[in-house]
Amino acid sequence: MKAKNNNVDEFVENKTVNINVNDGLQRVTINSDPSRAFAWNPADLNFVDRFMVFQLYVEGIPDRLKEIKGLDKVKLDENGEPIIELDENGEPVDMLKDYEIGSLEKLGKEFNAELNKTFGSDVSTPFFGKVNPLSPQKNGNFLYENLLNAVMPLIEDSFSGFEESRKKYVEGSRNRAQRRAAQRQATSKSGAGRK
């Protein structure tokens, strides 16, 4: 952009200035894969409340699974594979004949939305990709349980960090209040001696 100053043409540059601020974001990769990374702010005070609500939601997942019609007839072995039952004629029993197609997908999408809301960004994509978080794993857990077990130490650290910061703030406030009270007292004593 050109600006005129005392009949002399000067060039004034528009430029972007970068500042580095500790915004509290923590960057996390899954299985050391940079394409499966997410960032969240464990110092976000609202995260504590959102995570507590999310924990209540997660505690209700087993009951929600029980409500899915026909799913109770599916039995899995220790590897997460369906156990095929045979009828009296030796034919496989259709375990999913009463299952309402799309029920698990809907619950998985709902879970991902709750997880994203809790962390304040899309963390379900790096965590699960296109796999349903309710998918059973070989260790006997659902995929979402493996995720929560892995991320829980980070969350616990953020909560303890929050508690430490809160204590420092309270102690600092208490010290500032004591100094102000001492200053007021000293000022009132010195003012009383002038009369």
- From residue 141, alpha-carbon distances to 24, 42, 55, 155 in Å are 31, 26, 16, 20
The per-residue pLDDT for 7 is 58
pLDDT of residue 15: 85
What does pTM read for this prediction? Answer: 0.64
User: What residue type is assigned to position 151 of the chain?
Assistant: V
Query: How many Å separate Cα 94 from the centre of its chain?
Result: 39
The phi and psi torsions of 173 (rounded to 5 degrees) equal -65, -40
Give the C-alpha separation, 195 to 188, whole Å. Answer: 11
The tens digit of pLDDT for each residue in 12-33 reads 678 888 898 888 888 889 899 9
Of the chain, the percentage scoring pLDDT greater than 90 comes to 24
Top-confidence range, 144-148, 150-154, 191-195: 144-148
Helices in the chain by DSSP H: which ranges? 45-59, 61-67, 103-119, 124-128, 143-193
Residue 28 CB burial class (10 angstroms; 0-12, 13-18, ≥19): middle
**pLDDT-derived band of residue 134, with 50, 70 and 90 as boundaries?**
very high
Q: What is the largest CA-CA distance in the chain?
A: 111
Q: Residue 119: how many CA atoms within 13 Å on its side-chain side? A: 24
164 vs 22, higher pLDDT? 22
d(CA 132, CA 140): 15
Over the stretch 84-118, which tens digit does the pLDDT of each residue have? 676 777 766 666 666 677 788 999 999 999 999 99
3-class SS of residue 23:
coil
pLDDT at 55: 93
Dist. CA 159–CA 44, nearest whole Å: 10
pLDDT at position 110, please? Answer: 96
**Residue pLDDT, tens place only, 40-86:** 887 787 888 898 899 999 999 988 888 876 666 666 666 656 666 76
**Helix, strand or coil, per DSSP, at residue 10:** strand
Amino acid 128: pLDDT: 94
Q: What is the pLDDT of residue 176?
A: 75
Domain residue spans of the chain = 2-193
